[in-house]
Structure 1
Amino acid sequence: MRIAIMGSGGVGGYVGAWLQQAGQDVHFIARGAHLAALRSEGLRIEHPQLPLQLPPVQASDDPAAIGPVDLVIFAVKLFDTEAAARQMAPLVGPETRVLTLQNGIDSVAMIRAQLGPAAQVRGGVIYVSAVIERPGVIRSPGGLHSIVADSAQGDPVMAALQQAAADLPGLEIKLSEHADLVIWEKFVVLAAVSGATTLLRARLGAINGHPEARAFLRQLVDESIALAQARGVGLRAGLADEVMARIGGMPPAMRSSMSEDLERGNRLELGWLSGRVHALGLELGVPTPAHSAVYRGLVLYENGAPAAPL
């Protein structure tokens, strides 16, 4: 398959690297020093069990130079969604599928609003921790490395994507007929982990090891589930306990990309995670004190590190 990675940061770079390792024709959309490194030195995945080194890869900052592809993996930060969706228009032909692996619960609608109602946009989630360590280098602490994507009632392109990753040690792809539920389940996990690790400035090992911090994490999980129920999303009974067990099994060194972004002074996806829970809670009349505390405690950093006081 001819695949474009729209957003070749931590997640996009990780997925694209493994798909290229599987023999797919992968084109990375990147910019700046990261783009230069991809072109000159290749792409490297630093991983404790599954390191990967690719030679110089096909990379560009101009989607028009690539043209229509079979599949776009859309992995930009949520605050860049609208601009990136417009920019990728030259990649999207009548038979192109766009698979969004973004965080949150709004991605499919946001992309389709830019590309038009005929666009074949598929929702999906990815479970992997990966960030740009330096230009051309993606760092992952290990743990989960799986994608769950919309099967779209047997869409052949989605089936081909699943088959492409069938023998990969570093990437597993599953298809689901209930992508909306999968996206909400990921949102419950991600909003809690991102909120706790970022507000508390701590990694999961420390949070899971302290009873008060773990209680805060559970409160974040419970609030998102309550919101889903209020919106009529049929999440299964017992999900909160499953989520806490899953988080408890994650690598102790793991933290969210939002926590990394806060430390680096970058923009945060806050408005689409705890901020989204906070706003939906107000809209639906569902109390969300923990997520509201995360949102209000970080809102001054939402657009990057605030200017130094006068």
Structure 2
Amino acid sequence: MKVCIFGAGAIGGYVAAKLAQTDVDVSVIARGPHLAAMQEKGLTLLEDGRDPINVPVRASDNAADLGPQDYVFITLKAHSVPAVVDTMQPLIGAETTLVSGVNGVPWWYFHKLDGPYEGTRLRSLDPGNVQWNGFGPDRVLGCVVYPAAEVVTPGTIKHVEGNRFSLGEPDGSKTDRAAKFSVALSAAGLRAPVRPRIRDEIWLKLWGNLSFNPISALTHSTLDVLCTNPGTRSVARGMMLEAQEIAEKLGVRFPVDVEKRIDGGAAVGAHKTSMWQDLELSRPMEIDALVTSVQELGQLTGIATPTIDTVASLIKLRAKVAGLY
């Protein structure tokens, strides 16, 4: 099995390091000092309670060096993907599956979704239908990424917590391609359940990202603080209830209520969300996939999102002032 990790940063590097310890033919697309370090000395993985592991990986910034793959695991941030659709084409053969490990509402969300919105395309996520036309939604296998990891130095990944990558076909069917990729991840020591309702898990994760990320970036508060402070907890609750109404209209089932979801965020502790980290590090902020997309879904379904709209206006202006949106 040939697997290319496209965007081998923290999460992509973690997956690559795990797969490289199996019989999978794994390669990575990366750039800059991180790429140079992997090319020179391999990829190093740090996990609590284990000795550091160093594995050789085939690494390049040019997809043409790697050729067609069985699976391309996309671990970029959502706003980065449209710009690389063309450069990714050498990795895509007739039978290639694209594993969508991107946060937020995915561009393929309405592909094969029963109901009146089937086939709808989201402008906030795929302007100009670049991904829909360039990849084709039939290639996509959904994936909800749960682990946390970080690049501590170029070529070195530290695994923080979690090892689950939930997989699911857009139409909920059981397929060989989903089963085979699940087996490959499981052999690498990762949890990879195949879910018949992958959108339920997408929304459960998005619920927190939609609210916690922009609030933390605006207030510079860690999860334990913003989830317990009465004011910010109330704002998060308002955003999540609006999102829940939208999701349920689209057929999503939530396994927990809003209060339990917020309590779960508080239990993570003094954690800086990715959006706050991006602001601090002057990296483009992942606003559209996590926030704007939900606004668009509200407009599509006719559901008002006043709390989300307010927070979206604030975080977009904050990001624009910083030159990150």
For normalisation by structure 2, the TM-score amounts to 0.83
RMSD of aligned Cα (Å): 2.5
- The corresponding residue for 2:33 is 33
- The corresponding residue for 2:150 is 131
1:58 and 2:77 are equivalent in the alignment: no
Q: Which moved more, 1:184-193 or 1:2-11?
A: 184-193
Secondary structure of the structure 2 residue equivalent to 1:130: strand
Q: What is the Cα deviation at residue 298 of structure 1?
A: 1.9
The 3 A distance-change label for structure 1 pair 219 and 43 is farther
* 2:38–2:57 contact (8 Å) kept in structure 1: yes
In 1, the alpha carbon distance for the partners of 2:9 and 2:50 equals: 18
- The corresponding residue for 1:19 is 19
The 3 A distance-change label for structure 1 pair 113 and 57 is same
Give the percent of matched residue pairs that are identical in Structure 1 and Structure 2: 27
Q: What is the Cα deviation at residue 24 of structure 1?
A: 1.9
- The corresponding residue for 1:165 is 185
Unaligned runs of 5+ in 2: 110-125
Unaligned runs of 5+ in 1: none
- The corresponding residue for 1:146 is 164
In 2, the alpha carbon distance for the partners of 1:73 and 1:41 equals: 23
Q: Deviations over 1:80-129 (max 9, x none)?
A: 11122222111111111110010122333653331236x52111111122
In 2, the alpha carbon distance for the partners of 1:42 and 1:237 equals: 41
Q: What is the Cα deviation at residue 193 of structure 1?
A: 2.7
> How many residues of Structure 1 are paired with residues of Structure 2 in the alignment?
302
* 2:241–2:258 contact (8 Å) kept in structure 1: yes
Q: Deviations over 1:20-44 (max 9, x none)?
A: 2234211000111111011112223
In 2, the alpha carbon distance for the partners of 1:97 and 1:62 equals: 19
The 3 A distance-change label for structure 1 pair 49 and 255 is farther
Amino acid aligned to 2:70: D
* 1:45–1:139 contact (8 Å) kept in structure 2: yes
* 2:6–2:12 contact (8 Å) kept in structure 1: yes
* 1:112–1:121 contact (8 Å) kept in structure 2: no
- The corresponding residue for 2:265 is 247
Q: What is the Cα deviation at residue 266 of structure 1?
A: 1.0
For normalisation by structure 1, the TM-score amounts to 0.86
State how 1:251-262 maps to structure 2 within 5 Å.
252-262=269-279
State how 1:172-183 maps to structure 2 within 5 Å.
172-183=191-202
In 1, the alpha carbon distance for the partners of 2:160 and 2:216 equals: 15
* 1:261–1:268 contact (8 Å) kept in structure 2: yes
Secondary structure of the structure 2 residue equivalent to 1:94: strand
Amino acid aligned to 1:147: F
The 3 A distance-change label for structure 1 pair 149 and 168 is same
Secondary structure of the structure 2 residue equivalent to 1:34: helix
